[in-house]
Amino acid sequence: MVRGRGLREWGLAIPAPGHNSGGVVLVADDDADIRTMLRTLLELDGCEVVEAEDGQAAWRLIKEQEPAVAVVDVQMPGLDGLDICRLVRRTHLPCKVIVYTAGMATEEQARAAGCDQYLLKTEPLPQLRDAVRRYLQARPPE
């Protein structure tokens, strides 16, 4: 797990974790700038965000933290984002997986691997934010 550089670490006032989120969100990307951008976006919505810089760390965090949603890049060291989709589906974990990619896989490939949502990094960020919100709101209370 990567120690985040998010808003909480800077001491900024943001909504309390879980305020609107209903669960943890994992952001898995080997690009630190992408992780920071997504962490900031999701923390502003009150999400608790954990980060992984590679696929192995992402899979470990999915098993340990049981995030409601995982936002995963396709091309990462170790396991790639499609491998993560397959593992989540094979183990029947209740985590929704959003493949967030620069186009390293097609939507058909991502869907075949078991992703719940496919978004290109070139698409407007509100689309990702809306998808995360939708999955968090649909998750049954614990």
Q: What is the pTM of this model?
A: 0.85
Q: What is the mean pLDDT of residues 1-11?
A: 48
State the CATH class of domain 22-138.
Answer: alpha beta
Do the strands 48-52 and 69-72 form a parallel or antiparallel pair, or are they unpaired? unpaired
Provide the 3-class DSSP secondary structure of residue 29: coil
pLDDT in tens, 60-80: 999 999 999 999 999 999 999
Q: Is residue 23 a contact partner of residue 17, using CB atoms and an 8 Å limit?
A: no
CB neighbourhood size of 33 (10 A):
9
Provide the 3-class DSSP secondary structure of residue 94: coil
Q: What is the pLDDT of residue 141?
A: 63
Distance in angstroms (rounded) separating the CA atoms of residues 71 and 106: 16
CB neighbourhood size of 67 (10 A):
25
Q: Which helix H or strand E contains 130, and what residues bound it?
A: helix 125-138
